[in-house]
Amino acid sequence: MARLDFAVADGVARITLDNQAKRNALTLAMWEGLGDLAARCAADPEVRVVVVAGAGEAAFCSGNDVGEYEGARSTPGQVAHYNGLQSRANDLLDGLAKPTIAMISGYCLGAGLVLALRCDLRFCTADASFSAPVARFGLPFRQAGLQRLVDLVGPMRAKELLFTARRWDARRAEAAGLVNAIAADHAALQAMVAEAATTIAANAPLTIAQVKHGIAQALREGGADQAECKSIEDGCYASADYREGRRAFMEKRRPVFSGS
């Protein structure tokens, strides 16, 4: 049965898409649950990093469960409801002040690719493959995901990927800037993601939130809201974490950040 698994340990939340019979395709209920889990991560001060993964080794996510479309995404009302739940989940995940990591093993297709694009970092196995075959279904590649794809790979490569509906292998994806790094196999991917998540979770949460916000502002059409950015920067200077960072340096020890 299609489901989402969720666990939090040592500051790292893990959301696992589990629908292995359909290569972890996302059902409507899974999209609703994914939004709920993203909101839960946002509200939990113990969560500092969020990892999104697919169950097993064959797929991160093969896209939406197209078998649901006739009954759940065919009329205008159904389309609006389906897209609303999908947008809510992606927007909440994208809007987290906490870093998000997509751990991609195997297939990363369609809506699964959009989900990965909405994460901050993407690591994959050497056998991973990426595509968005919307042109084969007559579907749109919705603007939020399209914007993120263009930001990462540029307009020319985005057009190639979407016009042709062909798959990119891991090397092509890395060369295009779609993924951060490639691991030899699933076990190596798990170790790579665990190391990245643990490292990030140990760093200052307010600084990381400021950097994530600042980068989003830098990419915003019309430029950054300088007053808003300065307000968040000033919050870092005034924080207990900044004091802890200074003291830890002077005392030659590792800092322990509280996120305050």
CATH number of residue 7's parent domain: 3.90.226.10
The residues pairing with 126 across neighbouring beta strands, listed in sequence order, are none
The phi, psi pair for 194, rounded to 5°, reads -60, -40
Residue 69 has pLDDT above 90, yes or no: no
Instruction: In whole angstroms, give the CA distance from residue 126 to residue 123.
Output: 10
pLDDT 10s digits, 121-151: 999 999 999 999 999 999 999 999 999 999 9
For residue 101, the enclosing domain spans 3-201
Q: Rounded to whole angstroms, what are the CA distances from 151 to 164, 177, 178?
A: 19, 10, 10
Q: Check: CB of residue 115 under 8 Å from CB of residue 61.
A: yes
Q: Same structural domain for residues 129 and 33?
A: yes
Q: Same structural domain for residues 192 and 246?
A: no
Instruction: In whole angstroms, give the CA distance from residue 78 to residue 84.
Output: 10
Q: Same structural domain for residues 43 and 139?
A: yes
Residue 221 has pLDDT above 90, yes or no: no
Q: Same structural domain for residues 190 and 209?
A: no
Structural domains in the chain (count):
2
pLDDT at 52: 98
Q: Same structural domain for residues 239 and 124?
A: no
Q: Is residue 158 part of a domain?
A: yes
- What is the reported pTM? 0.95
Q: Same structural domain for residues 116 and 243?
A: no
Q: Same structural domain for residues 146 and 240?
A: no
Residue 45 has pLDDT above 90, yes or no: yes
Q: Is residue 73 part of a domain?
A: yes
Q: What is the dihedral of CA 186, 189, 191, 197, to 10 degrees?
A: -140
Q: Is residue 11 part of a domain?
A: yes
